[in-house]
Chain A
Amino acid sequence: GIQVEQSPPDLILQEGANSTLRCNFSDSVNNLQWFHQNPWGQLINLFYIPSGTKQNGRLSATTVATERYSLLYISSSQTTDSGVYFCAVDRMDSSYKLIFGSGTRLLVRP
């Protein structure tokens, strides 16, 4: 099946710093989503981005489908950005089920 790898696995930042999270996937995809999981376990949609670039406030994402990777940029990080960031994809011939990476655990210190 399709493999989804995220890096780095853990990241500690000082408030105000910028960061880049990476997601590599091993096959062509129909759908790619980035999520933020808060400390209570809720998965919050950040981006639906199978290709191209999107921005939402301090967050932006870029997916290069032909090279099978996606990047999530966090600028001017805040303590509320702490949590786990997941990338999830579904294959082009799949039943729309999402395959998740193992996540990047982010801690932003004040």
Chain B
Amino acid sequence: DAGVIQSPRHEVTEMGQEVTLRCKPISGHNSLFWYRQTMMRGLELLIYFNNNVPIDDSGMPEDRFSAKMPNASFSTLKIQPSEPRDSAVYFCASTLREDYGYTFGSGTRLTVV
């Protein structure tokens, strides 16, 4: 298995632009998580899906952030409009069962200038 696949690996965009991050979970995993990692705030859970349904989006910073999971093999995290404070590494993770641990993707390093 190729693991959790995220794209792009790096994204540099100007303030105000729309940014879309993509994630393909491991086949068969039924839970998917989006995390944001910064030096100041550490690893923050933004949203998680179970069987493609959003279960907890309390970590989504504000209305500029939205996430979708149209099917079991694909999810997107969209920021519109982007702001410099959104600069961070965004990780997607998936799991079959909680006690198996989460498998993280390689992350998307987002820089908003």
> Is chain B a partner of chain A in the same complex?
no
Enumerate chain A interface residues (CB-CB to B < 8 A): none
